[in-house]
A and B are shown apart, each in its own frame.
Chain A
Amino acid sequence: MALRQDAGGPRRVTVQEADFDSATLVAAMRKRTAGKAGALVTFTGYVRDYNPDAPTRTLFLEHYPGMCEREIEQLCDTASERWQVQDCLVVHRVGELHNTDQIVFIAIASAHRGDAFRACEYIIDALKTRAPFWKRETLSSGERFWVQQHTADADKTSAWEAGGSPP
């Protein structure tokens, strides 16, 4: 758990194999920001079964330890420079995951909802094109393949980096 205390408040970034309890994470964030945060926005990403012909059996997530955590911390820093962010937390799982499992959790506390929504959306969009994770899918047929990056995700990150927000 990397914890940094500087301008914009603490950032907590964790990459782990274990599942997480979002309610506990939110309760801890509420405690840390009690009386200051008027808004707390969260995003949870799940494994989904999107191929009706050959259901996903498992998803394997590989990552680049060290760079991965630092990239996500940089995204939290960027979000804190662009928006008013009091507390920023990101948990991302790696290893073998199954259909409906939680993959990623992002929580942002801010004085105002607009900043919290935008910071949260920016972090998940940019994470998808900058944080070094790779997904390998295994179908129930036994077929295995590495997931390709979606052009739409790259476009969203480019829009944020250009100083705007995605369409």
Chain B
Amino acid sequence: MANTPSITVLYFAQVAELAGLRQEVQTLGEAISGTEWLEDLEVRYPQLAPTARLKIAINQQHAPHQALIQPGDEVAVFEPVTGG
């Protein structure tokens, strides 16, 4: 099933700790909005609730929640950043 449409999901910092993993491949047949994806994330990982507070990056670019996630994308999910 090497051609099953999927996305790579990256979890960082407190989100990774709560989810209990840093990376996974998720099957995704067709494009969905970040908002829908975050709602699904909350179903898969209730400990991340409320996921609407989280930030996402699509293909290593900050993305608003209304942005579309396409099969093949790299999606990262994280709390607001605290560098510097």
Contacts and interface: CB of A to CB of B under 8 A. Distances in A.
Contact of A63 (B62, B79, B83): B83
Interface string A68-82: 001100000000000
A62 B17 CA distance: 12
Contact of B12 (A62, A66, A71, A153): A62
Nearest to A71: B62
Contact of B83 (A70, A104, A136, A146): A104
Contacts of A148: 79-80, 82
Contact of B13 (A62, A67, A127): A62
A148 B79 CA distance: 8
Given A64-B57, A67-B61, A70-B60, A128 B13 contact: no
B81 A45 contact: no
Query: Chain A: interface residue count, which band?
Result: 20 to 34
Interface in B48-84: 57, 60-62, 76, 78-84
Nearest to B13: A134
A133 interface: yes
B10 interface: yes
B76 A134 contact: no
B4 interface: no
Interface in A77-103: 92, 103
A111 interface: no
7 contacts: A64-B12, A64-B60, A66-B60, A67-B57, A71-B62, A131-B81, A154-B80
Kindly list the 6 A-B residue pairs having the minimum CB-CB distance in the complex, ordered from nearest: A133-B83, A134-B13, A67-B60, A149-B80, A128-B84, A146-B14
